[in-house]
Amino acid sequence: MDNEHPDAPDIEALLAEMAPPSIPEQGFRPDNPDLFQIRGWNKTHAATVLAGLATVPDFHANDIRLDWLLRLILAKAEGHIKVQPAQLQRALNAGLSKAKVLRAEDPIEDLFCDRIATFRGNFRIIAGRWEAPGPYTQTLLSAFEALPAGGLKDRTLASVYALLSISDEIARRANLHRFTPSGGVEMGELSVPSADSLKKIARRVVFTTGALNNLGIDKEALAPFVLQQEHFSHVGAVPRGESSLELHPLIEHHNGIAVVSPTGLSLAIRVVMVNAAKRGGVERLLLAALMYAQEKYAEISGFWNGPLSLPAPDAYFVRTSIVETGSGRYLQVIQVPPTFEYFPQRLFSAVAEIGAEVNQAIADHVMAFFNFLGGRSDYREATTLLLTSGWGAPHSMAPPIDDSRAPRNWRFLALSFFEASTLGACDDGKLSDFLRINAQKERLETEGFSFENPNGPINLFGFWRDTRNNLIPDHMTDIEPPFGLMLPVDSLRPPHIEAARRKDLQALPFVDSTYRWVQRENWDDDDQLQPIYASLDDIVHHRLLGAVALKERVWWLESLEVDGASREWRYRLWHAMLQWLEAIGPQLIDRFPNSFPRGPRCVGLSVPTETEFQSIGDIPADNAQLARAVVVISAQANATASVAVTGSWLSHVRRPENDAEVELVAAILEQLTATGTNGLSRDALREIVRAAIGSEHWRWTHAGVTLTPLDRMGAQGLLGSFKAIRKSALALAKCGSIWRFHSRTDGLEIVGEAPCMEFLARYRASMLDALIERIRTFNRTELVLLAAGRYQASRHEQSSWRRAIRAMRAIQGKAADQHAFERQNEMNAVQRAAKSIMEIAACEAQATEGVSPDQDDLDDLFATALLLLGNGQLFASIRAGLVEPRLKISPAGDLLSNRSLVEVAIRPGAEWKNTQTLDEADRSYGRDRSPEVEGRQQGSQVDAKLRAAIEAEYQISAEAFIDLQYAVVAMALTARQEIIVMHRSELARTLAADASFSHEALTPLLSRLTLPCRKSWREISVGLKAINFDLSRFDRPFSLIGRPLLALDDGADPTVLVAPLLISDSTMYSLSGLMDGSLQNQFWTSDVARGYVGKVSAAAGPLFEELVAEKLRGMGLRAWVRCKISWALNQKVSQELGDIDVLAVSPGGRRVWVIEAKNLRLCRSEIEVASRLYEYRGLTVTDRKGKEVPDALLRHIRRIRYLRERNDALCHRLELETPPEVRGLLVVDSPQPMNFYMLEKIEDADSAFLGAIDKFKF
């Protein structure tokens, strides 16, 4: 009690009063008649009814209640009454409620059914509420199987598999599978089924002797699991998890047995194995094997990169390893052993303490890690990960680690083996992500927030995702620290389900009568998870063995080792054929069930050598020789059949149709079919496959002539794999970003245009400071090389998606474009961020020293850059009216604003552009041209004026300007380097030595293409403006898009970064901008280029107007271009109204259309959207002289209304029968933001796209 406040409630007493009982008997009293009634129930009957209810997924949330009542029944029921639904309902609800048992119920945290994958197949278990019963049982059984042979082991395994068979049969009877959905309301009213339903449900858990015989189960093997009558009372007298029921979940039942604890079968299985190991004196061997099994289980989802290769256990059974996960980043993994020391005195609820010697051994390993780090000159940060092992018995540890001796940036993290495996299978759940999430949490805790998380790391991870990666829920926008958040206990359920669905761990039968442990081969798309699996044991041994599991058939495909074969192409063909088998397999089995026998079949697949890939022949005119290009070796003796792809097959892959893949899959299917009369020939299968797939574009492999620099770099394997920016990096970058320049006490809301402008200016400056500060810690050359590599990998990914879009549309339908659009956004983000980091790093990173960056560093830098790029454009949207001038600061210190209208305005244009690009890629698929023609055809098409502009700008011939990109690719291929750093003079000499490249003087060209190195990012050279270095703007003249040779110093002969794809992109972008006039003014240095662009741009408007008019005439309208209002009315008119772009009369002459025809460029950024909307709001604006003038849309509207008021004069001029209705229309050639945001709200502001104008109702 609080002596100072005698009237204050005794919190501890209140909590004790609310607590559920610790043992079942505590709530069993005469004053609780609804519960006390069970004394008269028939024990066996009531127990089987309760056990049956435990197999019903709808009662998942109430399984604690069911289990509690079952224990009381076993301990207290002594009568003959067969329980009825009403009695049972009272006991489960009112009775257990009064006993406070309902308070022990929590929300559902995992799936209802789990699967144990063994060397004898798959067995389902009902998980109940025990922690990780599947992973614990799976790994303990694997470890026990690895023990030396012996009679005790054999007898124990016989019992284990007998009980697993019982468990699987119960699941079959209950129609349960791994992903059966479950429900119920914790602490809610439980509705008991009818008497007839209860009878049926109870029969699920009863096994007669005949039923056991039919299942092939020896009843004697189940003897260790039968609960004897003398132990019944013990079940109610001890805590749940420590009773005889955990060891003996079966009871005798008439002529057989009954399972009274379906959720406890996995516990009994584990107990019998541990007991056997202790009896046989091999518990230490079992511990070691269990640790190996759980290390493997932790690694299968890729939580960390690659295998840890932990050494053998030390004297205390601790295993530890140190790996460098990145530049200067170290991970120490300490696998902590489980313990059998307290078994069988303690089982599954009493916590056992790890011994003092083991605790000290852990602390010693950590101290050794500290010493190791102290000797590393490159050390930046480290993590000690305590990887806990176990078998389900809870244990605690408290290693005496001296934190005062910990190096800076050291973190301690504890995870169980199954938590690591679960996290790794989830989006954003890798080790680096989880470390960032913990750093984000620590940052918030420093601010005064606290997080009560009673359910472990996965629950924290799930909560992070539930809160959109903020760790503070969206609705809590007004909370301020100090503030404590109580995390929901069921945030871990979605990650559990996601990981289970993705991995789908199971055992599949192999042709040698064994089973292989497998998981899904790919889980990129949760909506398209396929029954395609990879053998985990074979992956460890670098073998590609996969399977398609369909309709009781398992079709295995092994990629065979071939000397000189590309591993990438081995994987691609293996993956492609598995996709084909999965796609067409169900149809084939349904049509020809006897031709494809049940069970496993296996085919080997070999691919051509790397040399053959590099010398693909011409595209064949037909398929006459295609069948010979796929060679089959039929199964003989113990050898499996194999299919060999020859080099000539690759030429057929270049055809736009999928004939090559159809031929290959037909050959594989031929080897999977039955022999004899039920077999199918390859000729028949070829046609069956074509009919089943239904498209000549459905395919997974693509080959062609390498035309572009990107093609050539990719074909030679010089480009890395694409990596999207991690969400955890973005979340950490946002968290607390405002507090760098703004205090909570200064307010959490900014209102008004001027205050928002001032705040956002400070925000941009602060984020730029943060970015520069971080960049200054790194080595300049290494950072730009890494960022350039990410840029080029992104461009390669972009090319791959475009090359495959025709096939993906055939495979995925409309979803393909959406997937491509989402991926494109990820690629755009990487490309913009990478170029921003490169430009700043060239000024700010350390020239000679500095930290070596890694990919995690890049993600963190990219995330900060994206915040700068994104929020740096916010004021433009406020000014354009897209965003309300009201900014909110989140409790976590992030900037909040309502940008939904920005999305409305910008997304349609982005989607249109994406579709347009993909459509062109689709149309051009298979359109091969020779490299020589491709390389120079644009140069040969350059007219004299364009040639003069190019040569004036770049001081070299147009052909040489275009060919430069190919020359630097050739240089990279020769050096076998993706990106080269060299002096500019050395680059000139190397290019000059290339006999295929121009021998003109290269210095002026290279100087023009060089982005100079400045003393600092904020230094603005004479003649330049700050806007030239505003990273949020496109088409900056001093950026990598216009000057792709990045100077890394400011010397007369600077060291430059030569990234072939940066040069190629810049070349083609600049050439395109010059040709269509879209790149104007400061982008060009020469007057000739500026003049040329100006003329092209000036001519584009009239050409577009003519195009619109011609289109309208083709639709039956009369149309005039560049029409003066004075002519249309035959009156004198003020020049302020301007001219009409296109004047049109609808068929019949009843309507006249005043058309504003604008070939406006597609808006690519928020700034461009805001600028465009600012011009088309239908309002007046202030010009440079301070005069109020109408914007472009208002001038258009005024023309419409002026003509409408004088339609009688218009009638006379246009020779119409009656005065017409005058309407206005804005016609554009690409989607514009005002088409989707404002125009529908403004009178006389209808709009249409030229490409869809034939659908407009004139």
Split at pLDDT 50, 70, 90, the class of 407 is: very high
Range of weakest confidence among 28-42, 171-185, 949-963, 1244-1258? 1244-1258
Closest CA to 1073 of 941, 1065, 1231: 1065
Residues 1095-1111 have pLDDT tens digits of 999 999 999 999 999 99
CATH code for the structural domain at 1098-1255: 3.40.1350
Contact assessment for residue 204 and residue 141, using Cβ atoms and an 8 Å cutoff: no
The single residue listed with the structure tokens 């460029």 is 1161
Burial class (CB in 10 A: 0-12, 13-18, 19+), 478: exposed
Closest CA to 571 of 522, 616, 618: 522
> DSSP for 1138-1162?
--EEEEEE-TTSSEEEEEEEE-PPP
Give the whole-angstrom CA distance, residue 325 versus residue 329: 6
Split at pLDDT 50, 70, 90, the class of 2 is: very low
Chain centre to alpha carbon of residue 972? 32
pLDDT of residue 938: 52
Residues 1180-1233 have pLDDT tens digits of 888 888 888 999 999 999 999 999 999 999 999 999 999 999 999 999 998 888
The single residue listed with the structure tokens 């012996």 is 150
| Half-sphere exposure at residue 325, Cβ-oriented, CA atoms within 13 angstroms | 25
Domain extent listing, the chain? 22-104, 113-182+203-279, 283-497, 505-703, 715-824+848-924, 931-1085, 1098-1255
Instruction: Please say if the pLDDT value at position 99 is more than 80.
Output: yes
Give the whole-angstrom CA distance, residue 722 versus residue 712: 17
Q: Which amino acid belongs to residue 537?
A: D
Split at pLDDT 50, 70, 90, the class of 929 is: very low
Tell me the average pLDDT across 34-48.
96
Give the whole-angstrom CA distance, residue 548 versus residue 356: 50
Tell me the average pLDDT across 753-776.
95
pTM above 0.85, yes or no: yes
The tokens describing 579, both together, are 């996709």
Instruction: Please say if the pLDDT value at position 17 is more than 60.
Output: yes
The tokens describing 150, both together, are 């012996």
Tell me the average pLDDT across 1156-1171.
89
Instruction: Please say if the pLDDT value at position 821 is more than 80.
Output: yes
Split at pLDDT 50, 70, 90, the class of 564 is: confident
Split at pLDDT 50, 70, 90, the class of 8 is: low
Residues 611-667 have pLDDT tens digits of 777 677 788 888 989 999 999 988 776 678 999 999 889 889 989 999 999 999 999
Q: Kindly report the average pLDDT of the chain as a whole number.
A: 92
Instruction: Please say if the pLDDT value at position 704 is more than 70.
Output: no
CB atoms within 10 A of CB 1218: 10
pLDDT of residue 1234: 84
Which sign does the torsion angle of CA 62, 67, 70, 71 carry? negative
Give the whole-angstrom CA distance, residue 1145 versus residue 1143: 7
The tokens describing 1010, both together, are 């060089």
Give the strand pairing for 544-550 and 506-509: unpaired
Contact assessment for residue 633 and residue 641, using Cβ atoms and an 8 Å cutoff: yes
pLDDT of residue 12: 67
Q: Which residues pair with 550 in a beta bridge?
A: 553
Range of weakest confidence among 10-24, 404-418, 759-773, 1030-1044? 10-24
Q: Is 631 helix (H, G, I), strand (E, B) or coil?
A: strand
Give the strand pairing for 250-252 and 329-336: unpaired
Radius of gyration of the chain (CA): 36
pLDDT of residue 333: 97
Residues 1017-1036 have pLDDT tens digits of 998 887 788 888 889 889 99
Q: Which residues pair with 395 in a beta bridge?
A: 352
**What share of the chain in percent tops pLDDT 70?**
97
The tokens describing 716, both together, are 């030679």
Tell me the average pLDDT across 792-804.
94
Highest mean pLDDT among 13-22, 131-140, 388-397, 919-928: 131-140
The tokens describing 524, both together, are 């990129």
Q: Is 1120 helix (H, G, I), strand (E, B) or coil?
A: strand
Give the whole-angstrom CA distance, residue 90 versus residue 979: 75
pLDDT of residue 940: 53
